[in-house]
A and B are shown apart, each in its own frame.
Chain A
Amino acid sequence: MAGIVKPQSGFVITPHKVSICILLQVYAPSGQLSVPFPFASISQHNRLGLFLIALTKSCDDILEPTLDEFLKLLKEFGGLLDNWLSDHVTGRLSSLSSPDDLFTFFSELRGILAGPETSIIDDDQINLDPNSNLGMYLRRCLLAFNILSFEGMCHLLTNIKTYCKEGFSPYEMSHLDDASNDPEAPLEYENMDLENIVLQNFTEELESRKRSTERVPFHNHSSKALFSLVEDITVSPGHKVKHNHRSQTQTHSPSVESSDVILQRTNWQIQGYLSEQADMIEKLGSSFPMSAFEYVLKLLQKVTPELHRVHFLRYLNSLYHDDYPAALENLHRYFDYSAGMEGSDFVPPLSFMNNGRYEIALLSLGMAHFHFGHPELALKVLTEAVRVCQMHSDDTCLAYTLTAICNLLSEVGISNITGIMGASDSHVSTSLSVQQQLFVLLRRSLKRADSLKLKRLVASNQLALAKFDLKHVQRPLLSFGPKASVQFRTSPTNVCKNLRLSSQLIHQFDNESSTVTVDGALSTSWLKNQEKPTTALVFPQESGSESNCDMFYSWLQSSSVPGSVLQLVGSSYLVRVTSWELYGSAFLARSNALLFATCFADSSSSADLALAYGKLIQHVAVYKGYQEAFVAHRIAEAKFLSVSKSGILTVKLQLLHERALHRGHLKLAQQTCDELGVLASSVAGVDMELKTEASLRRARTLLAANQFSQAASVAHSLFCKCYKFNMHVENATVLLFLAEIHKRSGNGVLGIPYVLASLSFCESFNLDLLRAAATLTLAELWLLLGPRHAKRALNLIHSAFPIILGQGGLELQSRAHIAEAKCYLSDSSISVSEDPDIVLDSLRQACEGLEALEYHEMAAEAYYLMAIVLNKSGQMEQRENAAARFKQHITALENPIKPKDPLVNLL
């Protein structure tokens, strides 16, 4: 901060550095032969050199290893020599007992540096080139020692003493460490007991789940195909999470080192660790163990009070655990300290601005409000962010803010924003509707992002545009008079184009300037990688080292595309899924969902993943029946840490509701429907989609109970709501449903206008599958009006057949078959008794599908029709068969058996 002088964290000599120097002396004793004393071979010697280089690289430490840890590290690297080396180090350290010893030690060290004049390198002698890595390090140490005051020297001496003592007597160490290790610690954690219990349960749950899924790591997003080589790395975050709260649950053990924060020492590594954890939090959402991580963060904060990023992590942590006050508090604290100058990826490194970048604070605050479901507050904050960005001409932040506003507008149901945005925002003229404003905003922010070359932002804007195009009719923004041609369609080509463009990102990514964070993460995982196969790396048998290198490089390659990019690209696939679903290609939707689940599962958030799994499960339900869907669901469930908070729960409720409706368990249907309604009104903002779905399902339940007028009134209010929030796609469905109500109530004439309206909606939105369904309903309605219209109905059905049979689900197909059969039966020009097979074929197919769905009512109808046809054609035996099945379904419908499904009990 301007004004406050930050402590110069210069290169200070520490006991750890002294021990490195001792090793350096061993490595390059002055004036020795090529293979100095303790080493058996040149390769051994070189390996020590490698080890030393690795150590010197991490010299800008926040925390340094204790002697114990250092010796352990040395042991892993040292192989046969380790005993000699560690004895040497400890012996040498303990021999330093007075300031003068230190003095002589460092002047000896000076001797191993080759002077500048000895440029001719004598092959037989080992001299440390002063300009090499190790040489530089040594010189820095020497310099640091030379400028030490006498007090400093005394300090070093006492530090070395404690360093040695800690290494030898564990009792002392546990006492000298901070409060968490003292014997009174349990008292201090008294009030955390509850949390511990929760955590313990969590661990147990985790473990049991792990066992049940047979060695599937609990957060198994790693697709074997891509990352099989680096499995232990990709899985390690999960393990780490566990480790951390293990160390928490067992507060007695002074094993701070088991939580591996402490094993990471350098600034970079801590930064990397933090950003990794940030990713984890964002990915896992609320299932991330909160208090354990909070504990780690507090520890970190104690050690490094000037590392403000810790506050940001605390903010993230509380954000994702819906702790509103804590989140707000930490957010403000972070930005008060850092002034927005630290940590965010897109800060240009050379921006010298005295007045801070507080607009980023506003942006983050706005997003936090958005997360907590306060869209109006969020909009206010973001508007202020826009203003401050303009004031400080911070274009980058402005672009991000605009995108955030777009997201907010598109995802949250706001029917009217004029009151909120006010006239102060010059970007949006308030006379336009929300949708039009959103569109304008989207276009502008895309342009802005493009001109600023913010590739990720461009991609996400394109994605947002695609989403917009998917669901909204494009009207000319300003229509003057009758001349303006009103084109009333969505444009799938635009959607497709935008989607393609946004996934281009992954190819362009190479030269994005976010190497900073990647570096940090890299050094973290390199260190982690080091722990296990270390011996192989430094004192290896030849083959061992190679495989290790491979692993390292493949990790590098896989990480050259940062997680945020992968996430974006992944979500573009999710949008594809939705778009294909809407446009009526179930199979393309499924394949895209599969693609997402295999390739991007690792980098995407758990919410996205749940969405993808949900789509797949529903696909199974619609095309294969519930039995298989529930199996799939169980598999998916095992992959999520906490089912209750993820989207998987919604899917389960949907499945249960559908099945209950089909089986005729109206009570159960009502119950599940209510549960869904509860989910829709969650704390984190109202999910409009879920809300409309819940009320549509309610209407369907009412319809199934033959409460026509109530169902119709629910549907009507839903229609009004959708209209208010401009959700036209949903309206097509609602209209079709209204027609359905009239059909069920036997009032065909009234139903027809609704179907026609729905059809026209489908047409303008390119909803092909829904259109086929609407056509089918239209046919059914015509059929209701009397046998005179059978021909027309049949024609309609046949026109819709290609799509229905190609893409439609079991229910739709069966309905189409039955309707077709009915047409034939009521058509007087066709004698069924002569050619029963045209009817029987389709009826048989219908029966098959309906039995898989356990749809008793329609199955009964189908069997009834079948029996009639068989009766007419005189196939008595089969008729009896069909009649028996009919009876079976009717009884099942009338006396619903209490479902004995374990899933129900979970509710």
Chain B
Amino acid sequence: MGVSKETCRNELRTAIRHLTDRCLFAASKWAAEQLVGIEQDPAKYPPSHTRLQRDCSSIRRRFRSTDEITATPVAGTSYVSTPVPEEESEDVDSDFYLLAKMYFNCREYRRAAHVLSDQTGMKALFLRCYALYLAGEKRKEEETIELEGPLGKSDAVNSELVSIERDLAAVRKNGSIDPFGLYLYGLVLKAKGNENLARTVLVESVNTYPWNWSAWLELQSLCTTIDTLNSLKLNNHWMKDFFLACTYHELRMHNESLAKYDYLQATFGCSNYIKAQIAKAQYSLREFELVEAIFEELLRIDPYRIDDMDMYSNVLYAKECFSGLSYLAHQVFMTDKYRPESCCIIGNYYSLKGLHEKSVMYFRRALKLDKKYLSAWTLMGHEYVEMKNTPAAVDAYRRAVDINPCDYRAWYGLGQAYEMMGMPYYALHYFKKSVFLQPGDSRLWIAMAHCYETDQLRMLEEAIKCYRRAANCNDREAIALHKLAKLHSELGQSQEAAFYYKKDLERMEDEEREGPNMVEALMFLAKYCRAQKRFEEAEVYCTRLLDYNGPEKETAKSLLQDIKLAQSGFP
């Protein structure tokens, strides 16, 4: 680590002061979390200090014993030490500023802005503009509700943007703007759709003052491709690593993101934020066990957390853990029922219960609270699919895709919906999209292969290609191998079929699974080896078949006799 823990700690402490002073609460909250997240030396501090940090690395101990190599930090990163700016007049904040800050704290934004209207100085200007911005946002949200339902047209705009932009642009021109002003300017520019300039301005802001996490987040939302990310000219600072990790995740480069977080954990060993982020990445890699463990721990340390808990509910859903999900739902409901995440968790619970109408109701509530809430749209689509209301499902999925075109689940859902309507060829378009976005997911490949395989299309060659991809990914249910063997034998390519049957057989033996697939594989292999005149092998398969009841047993018997005869016939 290029920077010592102590440096980080000091920087963060100062930053929290700065940020709170400017009422940037989300950023200061984040900074405070990281501050506590820096692992303390247990020898130096009494246990009360580390109360929030106990067991903080138990997960690491449990899951990361084997691959210690990844934990070694990226060597040779030299950090630029960004000077911590001195506050202009730390203790001589004008009385008006104090008053404005209090108004702001009481959410009386316009009042706060009014108090500061005659004040000079960058700090006052920032708070005034920020208060105006928030007032505008608040009004905008109220208007959205007043004018139309939140699902429809909303032409409500933040009416303060224009004047804020004018003021900040003027200050930026004469060079006296500070990083916080730049952050706000970037925010306004982004809201007005001027993304290029917004990006430039935000980069300026984080380069001069890296500890403002909100600015990094805004910047992240503007980096939709890896090229844009690489084109940013960012100073090396340890905050940049947080940014990169987060952005890599959004760009679906999960392994890169995980590596970054591992590296960061060396310093911020107890950061709940990093844990949740790792859980997110692992969730995308479908490591549900690990994700569940992380969330369990998170909840133990921080039982009233709601952020990211919707993902935990997804994991519980996937594992069909009724009681866990209901407990989680109850907990978040008691904590804050008007959070979109809470509604989403409750929706998930009802969905698991099979009460799809109720589930849709809660997803809709989540969307009412945040209509850009991606996973709620997708999950609602799933519910509609369950309810056989395909047009509504298509609509919901499409909205998800239009919010974020990289949501492979929604594309997959669209494909599924169309396949349900008997339009497999049309569905292929969507499956292709989803597979393109998430090429490592065997389920998607299997779905696509299934589409090719339908009676209407019968494009078996393509289906085989898809199954092959699925088999190469981590195909947990082991559908692909069986299907591959079956399709090959259907096409009369017995050699390939035998190869896959054998592989499938080996796999079933490994996982100690029995069932009709096993019988089928044995049957085919027995016949195949018999035809290939590999009698010993055939005999082995036949004898194994004898363990099963049913018609196969008889066939095996006759096959065995056949083999005996053939062996004696051609010595």
Contact = CB atoms under 8 A, between A and B. Distances in A.
Interface of A: 1-7, 9, 149, 151-152, 155, 175-176, 178-179, 182, 184, 187-188, 190, 303-306, 328, 332-333, 336-337, 339, 354-356, 358, 361-362, 365, 380-381, 384, 387-388, 391, 422, 424
Given A2-B392, A355-B391, A361 B155 contact: no
B384 interface: yes
Nearest 6 pairs of A and B residues by beta carbon: A3-B392, A7-B152, A336-B398, A179-B193, A1-B395, A356-B391
Given A4-B396, A5-B149, A336-B395, A384 B425 contact: yes
B409 to A, nearest CB: 15
Nearest to B418: A358
A178 to B, nearest CB: 8
B354 interface: no
B212 interface: no
A190 to B, nearest CB: 7
Given A381-B425, A384-B426, A339 B391 contact: yes
B200 to A, nearest CB: 10
Nearest to B189: A184
Nearest to B394: A336
Contact of A187 (B162, B194, B429, B430): B194
9 contacts: A188-B196, A332-B430, A355-B390, A355-B391, A356-B391, A358-B421, A365-B426, A384-B456, A388-B421
B389 A3 contact: yes
B285 to A, nearest CB: 28
B162 A176 contact: yes
A184 B475 CA distance: 51
* Dominant secondary structure at the A interface: helix
Contact of A182 (B146, B192, B423, B430): B192
A707 B153 CA distance: 72
A381 B423 CA distance: 9
Given A3-B360, A339-B394, A358-B421, 7 more contacts: A7-B149, A7-B151, A306-B152, A336-B394, A354-B391, A356-B390, A387-B456
A184 B194 contact: yes
B458 interface: yes
Given A2-B389, A356-B391, A381-B426, A151 B146 contact: yes
Contacts of A187: 194, 196-197
A907 B56 CA distance: 75
Given A179-B192, A380-B425, A424 B456 contact: yes
B149 A333 contact: no
B422 A391 contact: yes
A3 B384 contact: yes
Contact of B153 (A176, A188, A304, A424): A304
Interface residues on B, range: 35 or more
B430 to A, nearest CB: 8
Contact of B151 (A5, A303, A365, A391): A5
B423 A358 contact: yes
A152 B384 CA distance: 35
Interface in B114-160: 142-143, 146-149, 151-153, 155
A188 B193 contact: yes
Contacts of A391: 422
A358 B426 contact: yes
A190 B199 CA distance: 15
B206 to A, nearest CB: 20
* Dominant secondary structure at the B interface: helix
- Residue from the set A304, A328, A384, A391 with the largest chain B CB neighbour count within 10 Å: A384
A339 B391 CA distance: 7
A314 to B, nearest CB: 13
Nearest to A390: B422
Contacts of B394: 336, 339, 356
A570 to B, nearest CB: 33
Interface of B: 142-143, 146-149, 151-153, 155, 162, 165-166, 189, 192-197, 360, 384, 389-398, 402, 414, 418, 421-426, 429-430, 455-458
Contacts of B143: 155
Given A151-B146, A179-B194, A188-B196, A337 B395 contact: yes
Contact of A188 (B146, B151, B194): B194
A220 B293 CA distance: 73
B146 A155 contact: yes
- Residue from the set B146, B155, B390, B426 with the largest chain A CB neighbour count within 10 Å: B426
Contacts of B422: 387-388, 391
A424 B194 CA distance: 52
Contacts of B193: 178-179, 188
A4 B192 contact: no
B458 A422 contact: yes
A557 B355 CA distance: 59
A190 B200 CA distance: 15
Nearest to B393: A3
A830 B393 CA distance: 91
B151 A4 contact: yes
B421 A355 contact: yes
Given A358-B426, A384-B425, A175 B395 contact: no
A422 B459 CA distance: 11
A438 to B, nearest CB: 22
Contact of B391 (A3, A6, A9, A303): A3
Contact of B398 (A306, A333, A384): A333
B246 to A, nearest CB: 26
B379 to A, nearest CB: 14
B425 A1 contact: no
Contacts of A152: 146
Given A1-B392, A4-B396, A336-B397, A184 B197 contact: yes
A758 to B, nearest CB: 44
Contacts of A358: 418, 421, 423, 426
B429 A328 contact: yes
A402 B162 CA distance: 56
Given A155-B146, A188-B193, A3 B395 contact: yes
A531 B234 CA distance: 55
Contacts of B418: 358
Nearest to B139: A158
A303 B152 CA distance: 12
A843 B200 CA distance: 82
A868 B143 CA distance: 100
Contacts of A176: 162
A7 B153 contact: yes
Contacts of B153: 7, 9, 304-306
B414 to A, nearest CB: 7
Contacts of A381: 425-426
A759 B131 CA distance: 91
A332 B142 CA distance: 34
Contact of B426 (A5, A151, A362): A362
A611 B332 CA distance: 70
B328 to A, nearest CB: 27
Contacts of A362: 423, 425-426
Nearest to B392: A3
B198 to A, nearest CB: 10
Contacts of A332: 429-430
A384 B149 contact: no
Contact of A7 (B148, B414, B425, B426): B148
A23 B392 CA distance: 45
A154 B360 CA distance: 34
Contacts of B396: 3-4
Contacts of B455: 424
B519 to A, nearest CB: 31
